[in-house]
Structure formats: structure tokens, C-alpha cells
Amino acid sequence: DASSSLKLAVIPGDGIGPEVTAEALKVLEAASPVKFEQTTYDLGAERYLRTGEVLPDSVLAEIRDHDAILLGAVGGKPNDPNLPPGILERGLLLKLRFALDHYVNLRPSKLYPGVTSPLAAPGEVDFVVVREGTEGLYTGNGGAMRVGTPHEVATEVSVNTAFGVERVVRDAFARAQRRPRKKLTLVHKTNVLVNAGSLWWRITQEVAQEFPEVTVDYLHIDAVMIFMATDPARFDVIVTDNIFGDIITDLAAAITGGIGLAASGNVNPDRTAPSMFEPVHGSAPDIAGQQKADPTAAISSAALLLDHLGHADAAARIDAAVLADLSSRDGSPRRTSQIGDAIVARLA
């Protein structure tokens, strides 16, 4: 519907963030049947170092009033004494996820033709990780005392609620139901983390009753590390808690062509707030400002954004263009903007 327009909050961020975001926007605009009214937000390490501000409440309120968010990456130079660890993670990325209730962290992993995997025999890899995004070890439930002494105490408590687990498990089942293989693998460590593990296990069994066509599998997180390396083709939809999902998805990215290709969505399936889409990678200060970054992950994240907003056809066209571009890569170096242009040119 060309008459309608959607409001897009753009957070280019730091380092290669603005470079890859520019290409994602190029592709988004070329592929989308709807117009995006864009507002760009200056957030990240640079703004913090300049002003001391991370995410002012007024900015959060403005961002909330959009249909979706496109994020590049945030983060400064390694070990900058002026940028303490956790400032941007807790104050910006996690704050957005929690405030906008991004309880599904969605990370597809697909080994495209023409892409080299470090695995000798990867098989047909095409799975999606549904990582819980608002609970677990990442809620900031913990503290430290007697810091710096031999008696220092440090705790991070994993928070798992029946409400939080059920809604993400149900979302994962629904995604499995829509995929050809209809298989869901719950990943946890139920043998040791018995309290949270029991909750995840029981809720998965309960919700499974609503999805009789979906095959349910279970693996411990350590076993998943083995199968990611030996038989990743066995996975279809993986549902897991916040930290396990964080770890699995980096390995998943590594076996499917690397960090330059890994896309993600921080999704609020209930649509009570805008969802946020971003490449999995960071701001890559080592290559920033040189047009060396691969914008493919950001471009695929824009496809996830379109899919979330109900434009599955446009999303599929971006995926097809990315696939065509990947298949044609011969290893000769291209600038970030050249890759973006090539993918735009391949949009059917």
C-alpha cells in the first residue's frame, strides 16, 4: 500500500555502524512497498564520550513512538578508560530490549550457496535461534560487595518467570509450525540448573500440546556446542534462555560464513512497542571508516524488519538478492557501498 508510510527510528551508532546502516537503508528503500519516514538518533559511544548521555528518557519515549528501529552497532575503542564496560550494554542495548519488551531475540542461521563454512561437511544449515531477551542472567539482578578485596562477593541471579518462558516458547513453536521441518529444540542445562531447567522443560511440554505437528527435541547447552560443529543441519528452531542463546548464536554465525553475514531482530511479538533489527556484529573499530565492512548482516536485518512489519514478499526479495550476491562473490575486495549497490541491483 503505497499511500501508507511507516515511522522508522534509525540508530547508526559507532564505528562501522553508520557505514553498514547506510547500505541497509539503501536496500530497504529499494525493496519496500511502503515508505519509511526516518528519524536518526545519535546514540552510542561517541555521544556518551561527548555528552555523558547514554539513552535519555525523552529519547526513549520518542523512539517508542516508531513502527520499528534499525540499529547499526554501538561501541568504542577497546579498553577506553573513559568508557567503562557495561555502560552501553546496560544503558542502551539492554535498556531498549527491556523497555520495549523485546522478549524474542531472533537470529537466523543459514549457510548460503557460495559461502564457505569452516566446517568440512556442514550439510544444509538453515535454522533460527529464538533467544529469550528480557530475563535470565541479563536482568541486572545481582550485586557485588567487598569489591577488590580477597572477600569480594559477586552475584548475578538468573531470573526465569513462567510468564516470560511461556511467551517465548510459544513464539518459537509458532515459528517452527510455519517452517517446513516443524522441529523445535529446547536448549538448557536441566541436569544442573534444576530450578530454571524444570520450568523451561515443563512449559515446553505444555505448549507442545498446542502444536501437535511440531517435533520436540531437547539438548543440553554443552551438547549443542558439539552438534553445532558436527551436525548443525539437525537444527530447525532452537529455543533457549538469554545467555545460552547469546553463546549459541556466535558459534552459529561462525559456521555459516561469519559475523559479516549474521542478522538479528529484537522482537516484541505482541507489538506493544517497536521491534529493533541489527547485525549481530559490533562497531569493529579496527576497520571503521575505511569502507571495509561487509554490510550484508545489516541488509539481512532490514529484511527481518520488513518481514516483521508484514512485508514478507519484500523481505524474500532482499534474501534472494543477498543469496545471488553471495553466490557471485569471488573474493575480490569490494567497498561497503559497492556491496550495498550490488544487492540493490539484484532486487528482482
343 binds, options Mg ion, ligand NAI, none, Cβ within 5 to 8 A by partner type: none
Query: Candidates 67-75, 154-162, 190-198, 340-348 — which segment interacts with ligand NAI by CB under 6 A?
Result: 67-75
Query: Candidates 56-64, 95-103, 147-155, 276-284 — which segment interacts with ligand NAI by CB under 6 A?
Result: 276-284
278 binds Mg ion (CB under 5 A): no
Q: Label residues 217-231 b or e (16+ Cβ within 10 Å = b).
A: eebbbeebeeebeee
Q: Which three cell numbers stand for residue 150?
A: 580477597
In the complex, minimum distance from the CB of residue 83 to Mg ion, in angstroms, rounded to a whole number: 18
259 binds ligand NAI (CB under 6 A): yes
Alpha helices in the chain (DSSP H): 17-31, 45-51, 57-64, 87-88, 95-99, 162-178, 194-208, 221-230, 242-255, 296-308, 312-328, 336-345
In the beta sheet, which residues pair with residue 109? 127
| Residue among 216 and 326 whose Cβ is closer to ligand NAI | 326
Question: Based on the number of CB atoms within 10 Å of its own CB, is 179 exposed (0-12), middle (13-18) or buried (19 or more)?
Answer: middle
Out of 102, 167, 281, 311, name the contact with ligand NAI by CB under 6 A: 281
Out of 275, 283, 300, 301, name the contact with ligand NAI by CB under 6 A: 283
Q: Is 222 a catalytic residue?
A: yes
What single-letter amino acid sits at 146?
Answer: R
Residue among 318, 344, 314 at smallest CA distance from 1: 314
| Residue among 45 and 199 whose Cβ is closer to ligand NAI | 45
d(CA 327, CA 252): 20
Out of 22, 64, 119, 282, name the contact with ligand NAI by CB under 6 A: 282
d(CA 123, CA 155): 41
301 binds ligand NAI (CB under 6 A): no
Out of 284, 314, 324, 344, name the contact with ligand NAI by CB under 6 A: 284
Helix, strand, coil content of the chain in percent (nearest 5): 40, 20, 40
d(CA 76, CA 299): 22
In the complex, minimum distance from the CB of residue 128 to Mg ion, in angstroms, rounded to a whole number: 16
DSSP 136: B
Set 112, 138, 241, 307: catalytic member? 138
- Residues 87-106 within binding reach of ligand NAI (CB under 6 A): 93
Q: Is 246 a catalytic residue?
A: yes
Residue nearest to Mg ion (CB): 246
Secondary structure, 3-state, 74-97: CCCCCCCCCCCCCHHHHHHHHHHH
Out of 29, 206, 286, 313, name the contact with ligand NAI by CB under 6 A: 286
Out of 43, 74, 186, 203, name the contact with ligand NAI by CB under 6 A: 74
Q: Contact at 8 Å (CB) between 200 and 233?
A: no
Residue among 192, 132, 142, 129 at smallest CA distance from 162: 132
Rg (the chain; Cα; Å): 20
**Does the annotation flag 136 for ligand binding?**
no
246 binds Mg ion (CB under 5 A): yes
| Residue among 130 and 207 whose Cβ is closer to ligand NAI | 130
Query: Candidates 171-179, 287-295, 317-325, 340-348 — which segment interacts with ligand NAI by CB under 6 A?
Result: 287-295
**Does the annotation flag 290 for ligand binding?**
yes
49 binds ligand NAI (CB under 6 A): no
Q: What is the binding site for ligand NAI (CB under 6 A)?
A: 16, 20, 73-76, 93, 259-260, 278, 281-287, 293-294, 297
Residues near Mg ion (CB under 5 A) are 246
